[in-house]
Amino acid sequence: MIRSLVTATVGTLMAGMVGALAAGSAIAQETKPLRIGVITFLSGPAAGPFGVPAKNASDLLVEAFNKGGVVPGYEQKGFGGRPVELVYVDEAGGPTKVVTEYRNLVSRQNVDIVIGVISSGDCLAVAPVAEEMKKLTVLFDCSTNRIFEENSYKYVFRTTTMATQENVAAARYVAEQYPNLKQYSGINPNYAWGQDAWSDFTESLKQLKPQAQIVTNVTPKLGAGQYNTEISALATGSAEMMQNSLWGGDLEAYILQAAPRGLLKKSPNIIICGDTILERLGNQLPDGTMIGARGPNGPFAPATKLNQWFAKSYREQFKMTAVYSSYHMATAFFGAKAAYEKAMKAKKAAPTEDETIAAFEYLKFESVAGIVDMSLGKGHQAVQHVPYGTIRMVDGKPTLTNVKYYTPDQISPPDGVKSIDWIRGGFKR
């Protein structure tokens, strides 16, 4: 009897110890910092207009998240109570270098999530590696539609719009502004993003304005910096307007070289990535220049409490206006946080990576750019409205007028349908 009593007592104590250890382990897991690897341009010509503004957004948000109770709608501290640590990687150097850095983030830095990348070429290189290494990765900026149209991924998400949505919207805007359009040209960087942008734009105009003819399309190398040859080729034509998918330092260099030669006035540009130059080079843009921000970002963002907090906090901390790369970075963080906390709420404990992924698929969440719907790419690709506006100088300042927002169903193919097939089929749903 004594032996039985001792055995029972020992068993009770052991069960209690196991329970305490398990509880302690769960608590430790929930308070252990969540490490997020962030890939953005920190050097080179894309850093100033793109990469650093994106980094600013991640610094601002993580500081606010870790305080808790600061961000409207996202008051819970950190990610589900876990503090967040950031590990930065410079995207400059090309796809091979970025892949190497990505592998280091996962295998050596032991990050829990990766948020990046800006260049479409880098994204195309990183996505299959993320799948290979089984690491949740949120593409925050790159735009090529090939990511989810050519492959199916479990670990890769993109929380922003893609080239098809942005260029179909641009074509619709041009068709409205130029009802009698006869001739147009383009300038697009010679890699995935520029190729996709020009294809989607021209194929859309074939549907919307079949009478319009292409005069020329110049395709400078990414990072070229000098555009005298391209400007000369464009200036000799009779295009009524021009599609322009340059971005970052390339876009700034082109504006500074094209404006003095009168090209921007002769053939008003519709600049897909244009909001980054409004504050920096807005005085160089003639009336009639058409501007986009790759979604409802920057000057097109909604007047929600979340966006008002973000825009105000960003300007106060960094003494500049948040551009669309800042908004894209913020949206990626909000998406990751919303998915993590949705999974955690269902489990009532720190979720596994698979549980976070399951919560992310087909998620609808609020960002600084409004509601994001992860409805394409089998729940891995976002859709949003895409706006454009026209520059007019008002009291010496470039001001957006005639702003139009195009709904996701106007600019997005049905899930599982390739963009080019949807466009050539007359945008049928």
> Could you report the per-residue pLDDT of 113-168, keeping only the tens digit for each?
999 999 999 999 999 999 999 999 999 999 999 999 999 999 999 999 999 999 99
Is 6's pLDDT higher than 70?
no
d(CA 70, CA 47): 28
Specify the residue for token string 């080179």: 44
Segment 82-104 mean pLDDT:
97
Domains of the chain, residue spans: 30-162+301-383, 164-299+385-424
For residue 22, the model assigns a pLDDT of 41
> Could you report the per-residue pLDDT of 198-234, keeping only the tens digit for each?
999 999 999 999 999 999 999 999 889 999 999 999 9
Is 89's pLDDT higher than 70?
yes
Is 101's pLDDT higher than 90?
yes
For residue 110, the model assigns a pLDDT of 97
Q: Which amino acid is at 146?
A: R
For residue 393, the model assigns a pLDDT of 92
Is 7's pLDDT higher than 60?
no
Tokens of 385: 């409205």
Its CATH class, for the domain covering 164-299+385-424, is: alpha beta
Specify the residue for token string 């994106």: 54
d(CA 350, CA 95): 33
Is 19's pLDDT higher than 90?
no
Instruction: Show the DSSP H helices in 219-323 as ranges.
Output: 228-235, 248-258, 263-266, 278-281, 305-318
Label residue 5 by pLDDT band (50, 70, 90): very low
DSSP label of 82: B
Query: Domain 30-162+301-383, what architecture?
Result: 3-Layer(aba) Sandwich (3.40)
Segment 344-359 mean pLDDT:
94
For residue 348, the model assigns a pLDDT of 87
Percent of the chain with pLDDT over 70: 93
Q: What's the whole-number average pLDDT of the chain?
A: 93
For residue 429, the model assigns a pLDDT of 86
- Do 30-162+301-383 and 164-299+385-424 agree at the fold level? yes
Q: Which are the contacts of 17, defined by CB distance < 8 A and separation ≥ 6?
A: none
Grouping H, G, I as helix, E, B as strand and the rest as coil, residue 408 is helix
* CA distance readout (Å), 86 to 55, 111, 118, 201: 10, 9, 17, 37
Between 10-19, 317-326, 384-393, the lowest mean confidence (pLDDT) is in: 10-19
Q: Which amino acid is at 370?
A: G
> Is 350 within 8 Å of 26 (Cβ atoms)?
yes
Q: Which amino acid is at 139?
A: L
Is the torsion defined by CA of 110, 115, 119, 124 positive or negative? Answer: positive
Between 19-23, 55-59, 62-66, the lowest mean confidence (pLDDT) is in: 19-23
> Is 102 within 8 Å of 72 (Cβ atoms)?
no
DSSP label of 70: -
Is 17's pLDDT higher than 60?
no
Instruction: Show the DSSP H helices in 95-191 as ranges.
Output: 95-107, 120-133, 146-149, 163-177
Segment 414-421 mean pLDDT:
95
Is 280's pLDDT higher than 90?
no
Tokens of 223: 């990072």
* CA distance readout (Å), 360 to 225, 337, 355: 39, 10, 9
First to last CA, the chain: 77
For residue 30, the model assigns a pLDDT of 57
* CA distance readout (Å), 99 to 103, 111, 117, 123, 362: 6, 15, 11, 9, 27
For residues 201 and 21, which has the higher predicted lDDT (pLDDT)? Answer: 201
Closest CA to 264 of 185, 174, 169: 185
Mark 303-322 as b/e (b = at least 16 C-beta within 10 Å).
ebebbebbbebbeeebeebb
Say if pTM beats, i.e. exceeds, 0.75: yes
Specify the residue for token string 């007019």: 392
For residue 14, the model assigns a pLDDT of 46
> Could you report the per-residue pLDDT of 242-265, keeping only the tens digit for each?
999 999 999 999 999 999 999 999
For residue 347, the model assigns a pLDDT of 85
Segment 67-93 mean pLDDT:
97
